[in-house]
């Protein structure tokens, strides 16, 4: 990009742009947030309360060492705590627990409990087992948790009892075989050493059988309850207030997220380089947001003039029209900057604010309400001897200003019809005429006024211009062979010049020759 006015400004989003984005979406965000919050609050309020009870168990070692009975210890060892966590989910255990608390023990009820009504956590090192049961009432949750723990203990006790019974049967069968063998030996060899050995073995097996019978009748589970479940006091269900707050947040995020996506799809240029790529026009000036009259100095005026000479082949235009694509484009700041650049270089300059729908230049120059020459009066031929206001930028620099108050539709029509002829008359008096027109998207003033202009400069806000509007405006302008020469970007981040006091002067009226008194000869 060429050396442009304000090229040291940072090209980034300002706080004003961010606040504007938030402000544009605020009504939609509030509506979406309230609707979503209300829907979630109603949904959460209609849900049944959910309570969760916990029971803790520990897997202990057996109280009797089977090795003292010459029995294999593995037959009477407790299961690992992970195995108990699997056993909890056994259909027989869950069905028995449901039946013990008076609930239906059907397959569907067991599957529902297994799917979302029960959860098991284990701590392998201390052999701890935690069973969590979820139900719609605190009492039912606690009762069912304790019932599951009791049925798991019963299942473990049954496992031990059945194992001891199996060992008892095997030992009984072995004793019966040894008794038959002993009877045969006693008949053949009553006093042999082999008979004595079998009798001793048979005595030991009988002692083991007595021990197994005693253990089988008194067998208990290796699982012990450390803490029984008690009815919970708080519900784990959906709290309506929390879901309402969540709805407020999600509604705002949804609206602003959609707005952000739409902003991306609009393809905004965002920078002056992006404007040059999108329009094919060179950017001759970058104006920061909040710029007002006098925001460019003499050195910047030289740069702007040099850029204009480059894009116009060294021949500066005498009549320049400044327009924009949309209302976001600060055409007033762009027209003021161009006019001041000519005035500071000693050119006789006239600045015309032809956007009487939204006049802005007089307000920015702080022109007081006084008897000035209205722009519409010039267009209607009622100028008389009055002349445009003089705005003194400093002690040596001034420019002429023509403006009007906010006009009606009839005033706009009269202005568009009469202003081209006025421009032709003013060319003989002023070296440079800068005309500010309404944005192209809101009116076609710029297209009509461009017929009498030597050059057209577009004021574009890179942060607010959409690629679709830019393409449509440029296609229309080029189709009508409008002399587009350059662009001025506005609304970028930067530090505007400090406020400046201007002196506005009303020039004296020019008395027409026809109205002067003539001396008659005697």
Per-domain residue ranges of the chain: 24-46+238-264, 51-227, 271-507
Q: Report the pLDDT averaged over residues 28-56.
A: 88
**What is the per-residue pLDDT across 73-132, written as a single tens digit (0 to 9) for each?**
444 556 788 888 888 999 999 999 999 998 888 999 999 998 888 999 988 878 899 999
How many Cβ atoms sit within 10 Å of the Cβ of residue 55? 24
C-alpha closest to that of 276 among 435, 481, 470: 470
Q: Report the pLDDT averaged over residues 418-437.
A: 87
Q: How far is CA 304 from CA 284, 286, 458, 461, in A?
A: 6, 10, 14, 18
SS3 call for 374: strand
Separation of alpha carbons 222 and 220, rounded Å: 7
Provide the pLDDT confidence category of residue 7 given band limits of 50, 70 and 90. very low
- Supply the pLDDT for residue 255: 92
Separation of alpha carbons 301 and 361, rounded Å: 19
Separation of alpha carbons 344 and 393, rounded Å: 9
Q: How far is CA 512 from CA 391, 515, 516, 517, in A?
A: 24, 6, 7, 11
Provide the pLDDT confidence category of residue 2 given band limits of 50, 70 and 90. very low
Separation of alpha carbons 254 and 180, rounded Å: 89
The CATH number corresponding to 271-507 among 3.40.50.2020, 3.30.70.20, 3.40.50.300, 3.30.2130.30 equals 3.40.50.300
**Tokens standing for 464?**
């607010």
pLDDT: which is higher, 37 or 188: 37
Query: SS3 for 168-186, per residue?
Result: HHHHHHHHHHHHHHHHHHH
The total number of residues written for the chain in this structure: 522
Provide the pLDDT confidence category of residue 11 given band limits of 50, 70 and 90. very low
**Whether residue 72 has pLDDT greater than 60:** no
- Contact between 144 and 103 under an 8 Å Cβ cutoff? The reply is yes
C-alpha closest to that of 59 among 185, 192, 221, 181: 221
Q: Report the pLDDT averaged over residues 231-238.
A: 82
CA-CA-CA-CA torsion sign (488, 490, 493, 497): positive
**What is the per-residue pLDDT across 281-299, written as a single tens digit (0 to 9) for each?**
898 888 876 555 445 666 7
Looking from the CA of 16 toward its CB, the CA atoms found within 13 Å total 9
C-alpha closest to that of 489 among 283, 344, 198: 283
**Whether residue 505 has pLDDT greater than 50:** yes
Provide the pLDDT confidence category of residue 217 given band limits of 50, 70 and 90. low
pLDDT: which is higher, 198 or 499: 198
Q: How far is CA 362 from CA 222, 372, 378, 463, in A?
A: 95, 11, 17, 26
- Contact between 335 and 353 under an 8 Å Cβ cutoff? The reply is yes
**Tokens standing for 125?**
């090192």
Query: SS3 for 308-358, per residue?
Result: HHHHCCCCCCCEEEEEECCCCCCHHHHHHHHHHHHHHCCCCEEEEECCCCC
| H/E segment holding residue 286 | strand 283-288
How many Cβ atoms sit within 10 Å of the Cβ of residue 499? 10
Looking from the CA of 407 toward its CB, the CA atoms found within 13 Å total 21
Range list of β-strands (E), 137-258:
223-227
- Contact between 408 and 415 under an 8 Å Cβ cutoff? The reply is no
SS3 call for 455: strand
- Contact between 35 and 251 under an 8 Å Cβ cutoff? The reply is yes
- Contact between 355 and 471 under an 8 Å Cβ cutoff? The reply is no
- Supply the pLDDT for residue 318: 86
- Supply the pLDDT for residue 517: 44
- Contact between 304 and 493 under an 8 Å Cβ cutoff? The reply is no
Q: Report the pLDDT averaged over residues 327-345.
A: 86
- Contact between 81 and 96 under an 8 Å Cβ cutoff? The reply is no
**Tokens standing for 196?**
């004595």
- As a CATH number, domain 51-227 is 3.30.1890
What is the residue-averaged pLDDT of the chain? 79
Provide the pLDDT confidence category of residue 497 given band limits of 50, 70 and 90. low
Separation of alpha carbons 443 and 412, rounded Å: 11
Which region among 160-169, 399-408, 413-422, 510-519 has the lowest average model confidence (pLDDT)?
510-519
Helix%, strand%, coil% for the chain, nearest 5: 50, 15, 35
**Tokens standing for 177?**
């075989």
**Tokens standing for 512?**
């027409």
Q: Nearest 5°: phi and psi at 385?
A: -95, 5
- Counting residues of the chain whose pLDDT is more than 90, the rounded percentage is 15
SS3 call for 216: helix
Q: Report the pLDDT averaged over residues 141-164.
A: 86
Q: What is the DSSP letter of 366?
A: T
**Whether residue 389 has pLDDT greater than 50:** yes
| H/E segment holding residue 135 | strand 128-135
């Amino acid at each position: 990009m060429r050396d442009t006015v304000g090229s040291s400004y940072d090209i980034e989003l300002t706080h004003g742009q961010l606040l504007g984005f938030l402000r544009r979406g605020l009504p939609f965000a509030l509506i979406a947030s309230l609707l979503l919050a209300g829907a979630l609050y109603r949904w959460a309020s209609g849900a049944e309360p959910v309570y969760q009870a916990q029971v803790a168990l520990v897997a202990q070692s057996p109280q009797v060492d089977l090795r003292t009975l010459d029995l294999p210890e593995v037959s009477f060892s407790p299961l690992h705590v992970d195995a108990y966590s699997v056993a909890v989910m056994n259909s027989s255990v869950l069905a028995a627990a449901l039946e013990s608390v008076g609930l239906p023990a059907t397959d569907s009820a067991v599957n529902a409990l297994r799917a979302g009504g029960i959860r098991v956590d284990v701590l392998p090192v201390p052999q701890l087992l935690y069973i969590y049961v979820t139900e719609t009432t605190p009492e039912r949750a606690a009762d069912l948790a304790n019932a599951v723990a009791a049925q798991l203990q019963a299942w473990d006790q049954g496992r031990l009892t059945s194992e001891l019974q199996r060992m008892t049967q095997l030992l009984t069968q072995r004793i019966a075989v040894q008794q038959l063998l002993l009877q045969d030996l006693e008949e053949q060899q009553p006093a042999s050493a082999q008979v004595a050995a079998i009798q001793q073995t048979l005595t030991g097996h009988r002692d083991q059988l007595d021990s197994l019978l005693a253990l089988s009748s008194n067998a208990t589970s290796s699982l012990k309850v450390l803490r029984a479940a008690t009815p919970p006091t708080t519900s784990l269900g959906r709290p309506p207030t929390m879901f309402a707050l969540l709805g407020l947040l999600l509604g705002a995020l949804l609206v602003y997220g959609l707005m952000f996506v739409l902003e991306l799809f609009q393809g905004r240029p965002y920078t002056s380089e992006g404007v040059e790529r999108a329009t094919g026009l060179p950017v001759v000036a970058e104006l920061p947001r909040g710029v007002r009259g006098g925001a460019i100095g003499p050195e910047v005026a030289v740069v702007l003039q040099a850029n204009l000479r480059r894009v116009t082949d060294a021949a500066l235009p005498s009549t320049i029209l400044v327009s924009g694509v949309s209302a976001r484009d600060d055409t007033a700041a762009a027209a003021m900057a161009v006019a001041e650049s000519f005035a500071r270089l000693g050119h006789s300059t006239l600045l015309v604010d032809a956007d009487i729908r939204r006049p802005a230049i007089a307000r920015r120059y702080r022109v007081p309400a006084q008897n000035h020459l209205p722009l519409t009066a010039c267009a209607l031929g009622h100028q008389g001897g009055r002349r445009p206001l003089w705005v003194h930028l400093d002690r040596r620099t001034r420019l002429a200003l023509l403006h009007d108050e906010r006009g009606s539709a009839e005033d706009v029509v009269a202005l568009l019809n009469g202003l081209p002829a006025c421009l032709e008359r003013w060319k003989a008096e002023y070296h440079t005429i800068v005309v500010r027109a309404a944005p192209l998207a809101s009116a076609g003033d710029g297209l009509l006024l461009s017929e009498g202009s030597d050059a057209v400069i577009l004021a574009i806000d890179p942060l607010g211009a959409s690629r679709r509007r830019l393409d449509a405006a440029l296609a229309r302008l080029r189709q009508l062979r409008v002399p587009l020469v350059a662009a001025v970007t506005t609304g970028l981040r930067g530090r505007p010049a400090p406020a400046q006091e201007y002196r506005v002067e009303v020039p004296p009226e020019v008395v027409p020759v026809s109205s002067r008194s003539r001396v008659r000869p005697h």
